[in-house]
Amino acid sequence: MKFRIVMAQLNLLVGDIQGNARRVVESARQARVEQQADLVVFPELTLTGYPPEDLLLRPSLGGRIERALAEITGAGLECSVVVGFPETGDEGLYNALAVIHQGRRIATYHKQRLPNYQVFDEQRYFRAGSGPCLVELFGVRIAFTICEDLWSEFATVQASNAGASLLININASPFHAGKTGERKALLAERCRRGEFPIIYVNLVGGQDELVFDGASLAVDAEGNLRSLAPAFQEGLYPLDIEVEDRDGACKLLPGELAPEAGMEEQIYLALVMGVRDYVDKNGFGGVVLGLSGGIDSALTLAVAVDALGPERVQAVMMPFTFTSDLSRNAAATQAKTLDVDYGVIPIDGLYDAFTAALAEEFAGTGPDVSEQNLQARCRGVLLMAISNKKGLLVLTTGNKSELAVGYATLYGDMAGGFDVLKDVSKTMVYRLARYRNGLEPGTREAIPVEVIERAPSAELAAEQVDADSLPLYEVLDPILERYVERDWSAHRIVEAGFDRETVAWVVRMVDRNEYKRRQGPPGVRLTQKAFGRDRRYPITNAWQPGD
């Protein structure tokens, strides 16, 4: 005997409880008609989307959820479904799933392990459940768990002790680079420990800073990968289960194995999805960005075009005295290659007006970073004016390396609604640019080669290059990775072979520029510790770096 499970890897909208319930009904019907599904499994907190944050505290939440569940149970579905939702109980709110069979809820499970680290804050909202959930369907004893339950071995042991022949785990597991490999290794270990197959269904889509990559998968009792859904792609992915005997033992039959992306491809796809969903889910008609002729804005433009199409992207070159011919020509070339709306607005007049107004305040002083920042702020004013007039979202172009050490201007190049490269180091920016140029061999490069090969410069002063103010990025980025993402002490970084003075400078700059980052726009999270939700440091503090 066989039955078919369909992994519903959906891109849901946080807070759209009614709309998400309709997606469940429509997807279940589609899976039944097109794929002969017997059971359709949806992601964690399907009905609210993830993470719903303080929407979970709204007094009308319970009523909206009950109406959504009633819509699903009353839809006359010809297949069973598993759906995630927040359930209000006598003792509080639970992160729950329901098994709906033949129009009624036959089982409910409450998540037992509530993550409270990195981007997760579930203990703020939910109470922990207790006890396993075991349901016999299609002759098989199926246990159900939710996301974090699987990362602790207890849930597998609990399900095995309860007599499960199959475990289904629903997830809202956000992406970071290399996450698919971590999940595969974890599931293989859990399957061998429980001696049963595990089906892992994950959310897909962008939600503010988070991107969920999908990549739903199934692993057999021996730890072998049997099915892997495409990453960053919404869809319904079927799995066939063979029931082997009357005791309900079962095995997974081979399914689709999507090719796994390399590191640059993973990150690039995450950026594209993050931009697309942030723009579309927030109702913007398109985006505008300052195209400087540098590598960061060039990569941001390519991502925006791939996310939204050229017709929804506007690029503006805002040259000044220090803007090189290389920058002007490269920006124009890229805009033409990518076929975006492109314009040039010189800022000389704006800058002169500002300096004239400030002449008395600046009297008796020489030029310094104040004048450089004025240039960036002139550009920020122009972009925000275009945003207001046309309803376009301003994309900022700062990368993680620059933001870490404060090499950015508040209310200048940091002015905007979404920072595409916020969690991308400068060295990764170059890798991504080369990756993007290799996607369409035989065509003109999406990012001009001269932009990749030139020395990076903000062009805010004569003959300025980044290396005048910063360590080489090949030195800076490994230090930042250890200090920001791994939480190494300055002493430990020095012991790893880095120059003591350089480390001290980097650590000091990271710490003192928290106030800037706190005022910056959100951006796509790509690493295990991004600025924002992951890393929460006080602006005002007297902590001294050291051991």
Annotated catalytic residue within 44, 87, 402, 481: 44
Give the integer Cα–Cα distance in Å for 257 and 225: 8
Q: Running DSSP on this structure, what letter comes out for residue 482?
A: I
Give the integer Cα–Cα distance in Å for 393 and 418: 8
Q: Please indicate whether residue 251 is annotated as part of the active site.
A: no
Q: Are 144 and 136 in contact (CB under 8 A)?
A: no
φ, ψ of residue 301 to 5 degrees: the values are -65, -45
Q: Please indicate whether residue 147 is annotated as part of the active site.
A: yes
Phi/psi region, residue 442 (left: phi>0; alpha: psi -120 to 50; beta: rest), is left
Give the integer Cα–Cα distance in Å for 374 and 52: 39
Give the integer Cα–Cα distance in Å for 190 and 178: 19
Report the alpha-carbon angle 286-292-295, nearest 5.
95
Tallying the residues shown for the chain, one arrives at 547
Give the integer Cα–Cα distance in Å for 311 and 309: 6
Q: Please indicate whether residue 422 is annotated as part of the active site.
A: no
User: Sign of torsion, CA 30 34 40 43?
Assistant: negative
Q: Running DSSP on this structure, what letter comes out for residue 455?
A: P
Q: Which of 7, 6, 5, 10 has the alpha carbon at shortest distance from 234?
A: 10
Give the integer Cα–Cα distance in Å for 168 and 89: 23
Longest dimension (CA), the chain: 92
Annotated catalytic residue within 133, 147, 250, 378: 147
Give the integer Cα–Cα distance in Å for 343 and 440: 26
128 burial via Cβ count (<10 Å: 0-12, 13-18, 19+): middle
Q: Which of 41, 344, 453 has the alpha carbon at shortest distance from 218?
A: 41
Residues 6+ apart with CB under 8 A from 52: 14, 15, 45, 86
Tokens of 56: 């979970």
Annotated catalytic residue within 79, 111, 179, 459: 111
Q: Residue type at 21? A: A
Residues 6+ apart with CB under 8 A from 161: none
Phi/psi region, residue 348 (left: phi>0; alpha: psi -120 to 50; beta: rest), is alpha
Residues labelled catalytic: 44, 111, 147
